[in-house]
Amino acid sequence: MDPNIIREEEIEQLLAGLLDLYGYDFTNYARASLRRRINRIMIVDKLPSFAELFYKIKSDPAYLKHFVAEVTVNVTEMFRDPQVYATIRREVLPVLATYPFIRIWHAGCATGEEVYSMAILLEESGLLHKSLLYATDLNHNMVEQVRSGIFPMRHMKQYSENYIAAGGKQDFSQYYTAKYDRAVFSSTLRKKLIVATHNLVSDSSFNEFQMIFCRNVLIYFDKTLQEKVLQLLDNSLEQRGFLVLGTKENLRFSAIAPGYLPLAPKDKIWRKRQ
């Protein structure tokens, strides 16, 4: 694959267009990965030139949706990094149990596998009845998928192994009903979810939470945007609340860092100071 199909000034033109026309601001996304994604879209969609790509984005709303979905990376899984969930089960849930009501936000939730994982942990700790799990993503298609609670059956073996590695003791299959090639997750989990589109770049804080997950999202942003989003997460987290980032992410270099204590440095879980 030629890594330089799209030129730097064309990327600038595209980003300016997406912002002006639709309000999508990708200008502070890490440039190298953005370039790779755009190049890939052009190859897969057999677009011979930048002009063709730009024309389709401007003139075809369905293509715009497709482009946004493809330019952002949506890879996720249930109990991703199982040890993180084992730590949450052991060290965070006993604290959350002392609260009368628990609000948790999954920011950049993709298709929602993380949110269902957390709902399962809360259910097993007897806390789901007093919890609300907010799940948001920039991408409208993702949000619909989260609401449905339907995931490919072929992933269940891996998810079941992750669940056990995260300390799960039940039969994982009790949480879903198999329907042909799909696993439909139980309405007990689904009814505690509030799912919406939310853009971390341009939307503001909308509630105060006791716990926020924003995993594997900041890695796609440059330093300036990472800082802006960390400020937004900080504004949305209660004192003594828990912040969970992805295993390759950190708040060490952020202005919010002094306000946080590492709870489990390897698992990238912090607790906000009083």
Ligand X SMILES: C[S@@+](CC[C@H](N)C(=O)[O-])C[C@H]1O[C@@H](n2cnc3c(N)ncnc32)[C@H](O)[C@@H]1O
Asked if residue 119 binds ligand X (CB under 6 A), the reply is no
Asked if residue 137 binds ligand X (CB under 6 A), the reply is yes
Contact 219, 159 (CB under 8 A): no
What is the per-residue binding string for ligand X in 223-262, x denoting contact by CB under 6 A? -----------------------x----------------
Asked if residue 196 binds ligand X (CB under 6 A), the reply is no
Judged by CB under 6 A, the number of residues near ligand X is 21
Looking up tokens 């891996």 gives 158
Between residues 89 and 130, which has the closer beta carbon with respect to ligand X? Answer: 89
Between residues 114 and 234, which has the closer beta carbon with respect to ligand X? Answer: 114
Q: Of 83, 160, 199, 205, which lies in the binding site for ligand X, with binding defined by CB under 6 A?
A: 199
Write out the two tokens for 222.
């440059």
Asked if residue 108 binds ligand X (CB under 6 A), the reply is yes
Between residues 37 and 190, which has the closer beta carbon with respect to ligand X? Answer: 37
Between residues 216 and 226, which has the closer beta carbon with respect to ligand X? Answer: 216
Looking up tokens 């589109």 gives 197
Least distance between ligand X and beta carbon 4 (Å): 24
Between residues 7 and 154, which has the closer beta carbon with respect to ligand X? Answer: 154
Least distance between ligand X and beta carbon 233 (Å): 11
d(CA 15, CA 21): 10
Q: Of 142, 166, 218, 263, which lies in the binding site for ligand X, with binding defined by CB under 6 A?
A: 142
Q: Of 3, 75, 101, 187, which lies in the binding site for ligand X, with binding defined by CB under 6 A?
A: 75
Least distance between ligand X and beta carbon 106 (Å): 7
Q: Of 73, 127, 164, 165, which lies in the binding site for ligand X, with binding defined by CB under 6 A?
A: 73
| Nearest-10 crossing angle of helices 61-71, 50-59 | 120
Q: Which residues in this chain contact ligand X in the complex, by CB under 6 A?
A: 72-76, 80, 108-110, 114, 137-139, 142, 199-201, 215-217, 246
